[in-house]
């Protein structure tokens, strides 16, 4: 599949611009340094829906990654296989005006504006790639994939990082939502230090703001957690086998 740029209509451009303008003002005081830097490097602007070809050239030059066009949510195996080969799955469709605030499944604004800037950070993409290799190994084991999805959810989608003593956002699920951007950094939800076992024991919500977030101190910390993630999943899967 590829992005067919000429298929975008006036509403698509308006939606991109509206979402971009609404969120860009929140980012300087909320987004992590890596996301802000990546946003600059990828040359995203309000007036133009990004061309994947241009974005791919930039990403490939910086970290060796590219975007792979997918129709929407893809099966686990496809998802993990793409990312283990340095391809980030991204949709090319945009939400409609009437869906500006909430979507059932991620659209291009989420996939591109929120995820892509982080793909310029080497430690972060190394983490993504290794996490995906674990996913490939356990594909078909629903319990293992659920544990792994919690790690993905509370880092890649809803992760916070501490920078210069302040909480900042790197998770794309938060960064594509103006409402959750404010909420996640407020004192309303619980904030925990990044902890592999605790995250794997924590279910998440898809239909409302999270009530807890986990904080890393660096992207290197994420990458270095891979051996522990492998170990804990192996232990849990083994335990589950013996229970049954």
157 in active site: yes
**Marked catalytic residue, from 81, 130, 157, 180:** 157
* 176 in active site: yes
pLDDT in tens, 202-224: 999 888 899 999 999 999 999 99
Average pLDDT of the residues in 5-24: 95
- pLDDT at res. 208: 87
- pLDDT tens per residue across span 30-41: 999 999 999 999
The active-site residue, picked from 84, 115, 132, 184, is: 115
The first and second tokens of residue 54, run together, are 């241009």
Catalytic option among 110, 132, 177, 184:
110
Q: Which domains does the chain have, with CATH numbers?
A: 5-233 (1.10.800.10)
Q: How far apart are CA 121 and CA 243, in angstroms?
A: 41
pLDDT at res. 1? 86
pLDDT for position 101: 73
What's the mean pLDDT in 141-151? 95
Active site residue 60: no
Calculate mean pLDDT across residues 140-161.
96
Q: Is the pLDDT of residue 119 over 70?
A: yes
Q: What is the pTM of this model?
A: 0.93
Q: How far is CA 64 from CA 50, 56, 57, 116, 119, in A?
A: 19, 9, 9, 13, 9
Q: Going by DSSP bridges, is the β-strand pair 166-169/66-69 parallel, antiparallel, or unpaired?
A: unpaired
pLDDT of 178 above 90: no
Q: Residue 83: pLDDT band by 50, 70, 90 thresholds?
A: very high
Checking if the pLDDT of 130 tops 80, the result is yes
The residue annotated as part of the active site, out of 32, 84, 132, 176, is 176
Q: How far apart are alpha carbons 151 and 124 in whole angstroms?
A: 13
* pLDDT at position 174 over 80: yes
Give the pLDDT band of residue 244 (cuts 50, 70, 90).
Answer: low
Q: What is the arithmetic mean of pLDDT over 88-97?
A: 94
Mean pLDDT of the chain: 94
Side-by-side strand order, sheet with 166-169: 166-169, 160-163, 212-216, 190-193
**Contact between 42 and 120 (Cβ < 8 Å):** yes
Query: Does the annotation mark 177 as catalytic?
Result: no
């Amino acid at each position: 599949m590829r992005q067919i740029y000429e298929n975008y209509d006036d509403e698509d451009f308006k939606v991109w611009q509206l979402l971009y303008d609404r969120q860009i003002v929140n980012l300087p005081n909320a987004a992590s340094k890596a996301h802000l830097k990546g946003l600059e490097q990828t040359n995203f602007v309000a007036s133009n829906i990004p061309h994947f070809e241009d974005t791919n050239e930039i990403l490939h030059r910086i970290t060796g990654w590219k975007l792979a066009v997918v129709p929407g949510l893809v099966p686990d195996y496809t998802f993990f296989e793409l990312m283990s080969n340095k391809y980030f799955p991204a949709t090319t469709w945009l939400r409609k005006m009437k869906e500006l605030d909430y979507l059932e499944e991620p659209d291009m604004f989420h996939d591109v504006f929120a995820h892509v800037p982080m793909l310029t950070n080497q430690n972060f993409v190394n983490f993504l790639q290794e996490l995906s290799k674990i996913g490939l190994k356990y594909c078909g084991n629903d319990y293992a994939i659920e544990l792994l999805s919690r790690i993905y959810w509370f880092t890649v989608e809803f992760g916070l990082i501490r920078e210069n003593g302040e909480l900042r956002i790197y998770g794309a699920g938060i960064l594509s939502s103006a409402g959750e951007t404010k909420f996640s950094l407020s004192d309303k939800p619980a904030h925990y230090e990044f902890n592999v076992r605790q995250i794997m024991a924590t279910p998440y919500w898809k239909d409302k703001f999270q009530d807890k977030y986990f904080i890393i101190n660096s992207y290197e910390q994420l990458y270095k957690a891979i051996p522990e993630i492998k170990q804990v999943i192996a232990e849990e899967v083994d335990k589950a086998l013996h229970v049954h």
